[in-house]
Amino acid sequence: MCEHHDLTSPLGAVADPAVHARPSLGRRALLRGAGGVLLTGGVITAGAQSASAATSQNGWTAGTSSQIPLSSLAVGAATFPAGVRTGDVYTVLRYVAVQFNATVEALYSPGCWGHNYREISGSTSLSNHASGTAIDCNAPDHPLGAAGTFSSGQVSAIRAILSRCNGVVRWGGDYSSRKDEMHFEINVAPGDSRLPALAASLGGGGGTPTPTSGWTLVRQGDTGFRVSAVQHLLRQRGHAVGADGIFGSGTATTVRSFQSSRGLSADGIVGQDTWTALVVVVQGGSQGEAVIGVQKCLTARGYSTGADGIFGSGTDAQVRAFQRSRGLPDDGVVGSNTWQALTA
């Protein structure tokens, strides 16, 4: 963990052969619960000051997992325990994690961290993790206080991520004092217009989409890979529509036409019934628009693959890896459950 977590007295190395060559995380890091409590020698203690009306260092309301809205975050082979703050924060931090996984280095678990209600180590200020507005990436490889843990190429990739985030995200490697190269945090206060603007441009539609019965609602005004998936599935079903990832009036009209053709309520909103009617089962050997939709979803989820519409061995391997990360049978077949997970 980072300076926003307690690494001052590690009690032992990570008992995980997959990370045996990496620096120790410490038992205390691994025993910290999702609600911000710390289990030390079997004793449960509070993670920081009272959560009532508390704010983290960046001005966001802080609290335990039952007091602030959190959404689970999983990217590549990693999960971020307790997740991050729901809405625009989630959209932006998920983008950072996905791009880190795709362009900097592969994420792994344990070693990535999200919400944690506690003070900054050595300070009385609440960590930005306490408000669900920060993540740590591959903490054992980039320990607190260490500088130069990334290669020059990796730093360039991190700079590209930060540039895309337009000042909304700060990297701990840029701290003027103690470096924290694992750490990325929201660097604007609540209400700053740059955050929702960035989230919308990243395909978040201004916040985390509302799930319905496991499927994610997609509607006019949304942008991003979910919209692309809808558009490619519509094209697969024979409907003429652009595949630009923008849910404009043309896409809404096409969705309504498809809904009418299936006897569904023609409201132009892609929810459970419309998704179920739209999705096409694809697998090794499949070709076409639906495969492109799968490939774009995989890439957005951190499983980079070309979008050539050919379900070859590379796409198959990425589908299986994604399925394993979500606890699905890794059969390489993109059916309803895998589509649902891809577009969640």
Do 163 and 249 fall within a single domain? no
Positions of the chain with pLDDT lower than 50, given as ranges: 5-52, 205-213
Do 179 and 264 fall within a single domain? no
Do 75 and 218 fall within a single domain? no
Where is the domain boundary, 198, 232, 267?
198
Domain that holds residue 38: 17-198
Where is the domain boundary, 135, 165, 198?
198
For the domain that residue 229 is a member of, what is the CATH number?
1.10.101.10
**What are the start-end ranges of the E strands in the chain?**
38-40, 43-45, 70-75, 78-85, 134-136, 169-171, 183-186, 211-212, 215-216
Where is the domain boundary, 166, 198, 230?
198
Q: What is the pLDDT of residue 4?
A: 52
Do 76 and 114 fall within a single domain? yes
Q: What is the pLDDT of residue 204?
A: 54
Radius of gyration, alpha carbons of the chain: 21
Do 220 and 125 fall within a single domain? no
Q: What is the pLDDT of residue 47?
A: 43
Q: How far, in Å, CA of 18 to CA of 301, rounded?
A: 22
What are the CA-CA distances from residue 292 to residues 89, 188, 310, 321 (Å)?
28, 36, 8, 18
Tell me if 7 is assigned to some domain.
Answer: no
Model confidence over 256-313: pLDDT tens digits?
999 999 888 888 999 888 998 899 999 999 999 999 999 999 999 889 899 999 999 9
